[in-house]
Amino acid sequence: MGYLSRSLGILTALIFVTATMAVAEERDPLKPRVPPDQIAEAKALKNPIPKTPENLAKGKALFEGKGTCFNCHGKEGKGDGPAGQILNPSPRNFTNCKFHKKRKDGELFWVIKNGSPGTGMVSLIPAAITEEEAWTIINYERSFCKEGTE
Ligand code: HEC
């Protein structure tokens, strides 16, 4: 009996470890998502929305409301929203300043418009938001990095 319960204990521990390892992770956030033949054009796009406090407040309201972004990306932008927790790869963690430094606004815009194939990030323009609202949210998403990116 002692042997059996010890084996069961080991088995339970193994299952636990395996389950923990299966927790989803972000797919390399520093690798571009825009296809090579479109990236130059995407990078050249300029965000038409100025980063005023009023516009940042609008971006926050859209992120936490109409845009539904918070469901996956989390209210704090860490990629840990209630729906995001079951996604693999997991949603972008916007508090990662290295990610922001690697991306131009136009690349973020491209993903919001076209989605990131093979992930839970689907096209949200025009399904959820307009182009102008996307640019407004991008400014807000940038503010999750507390180092300042520009
Ligand atoms: C259903 C879940 C879900 C929702 C809702 C969602 N996202 Fe995402 N988002 C993801 C996932 C998953 C990724 C990671 C995709 C990847 O790794 O390629 C992601 C990645 C991103 C990225 C990173 C793109 C890059 O270049 O790496 C941006 C920007 C983004 N989302 C913006 C938004 C905005 C803005 C909204 C709301 C309008 C939103 N997302 C709503 C799941 C979601």
Locate the domains of the chain by residue range. 26-142
CA of 137 to the centre of ligand 1 (A): 12
CB of 43 sitting under 6 A from ligand 1:
no
Closest atom of ligand 1 to CA, residue 103: 26
Q: 48: helix, coil or strand?
A: coil
CA of 50 to the centre of ligand 1 (A): 22
> pLDDT by residue (tens digit) across 83-115?
999 999 999 999 999 999 999 999 999 999 999
Give pLDDT, residue 17.
47
For the record, the structure tokens of 48 come out as 């038409």
Q: Can you tell me the distance from the alpha carbon of 80 to that of 84, in angstroms, rounded to the nearest whole number?
A: 6
Check if CATH label 1.10.3210 holds for domain 26-142.
no
Identify whether the C-beta of residue 140 lies closer than 8 Å to the C-beta of residue 59: yes
**Does the global pTM surpass 0.85?**
yes
CB of 115 sitting under 6 A from ligand 1:
no
CB of 116 sitting under 6 A from ligand 1:
yes
